[in-house]
Amino acid sequence: MKNRRILYLLTGFMIILLAGTVYTWTIIAKSISATYPDWTARTLSMTFTIDMMGYALGALLLLLAAIVLSFLISFAIRRPGEGKSAQY
């Protein structure tokens, strides 16, 4: 049980870390515009749009994976007598 708590802690830390990178865009955009002065604000905003689309797509895929996983687990831990039982 103690090992699981550490796993949950590390997983939560990684999720917060990865989610926070999207919201620090204003800081990142300043350094990108300083590095590439020929990029316009429109180009930088397109980069942010693509980043947000990836963030939303990742969240959608995570939701679908959770639904499929919960569906599979519900069949794996079915109680005897519920639904179809195996014929031996």
How do the domains of the chain map onto residue ranges? 2-76
Spatial CB neighbours of 29, under 8 Å, sequence gap ≥ 6:
44, 48
pTM reported for the whole predicted model: 0.53
* Residue 46 pLDDT: 87
Q: Would you write out the chain's pLDDT as a tens digit for each of its 88 residues?
A: 567 877 887 787 777 667 776 777 778 888 888 999 998 888 888 888 887 887 788 788 888 988 998 888 887 776 666 556 555 5
- By CB atoms closer than 10 A (0-12, 13-18, 19+), residue 66 is exposed
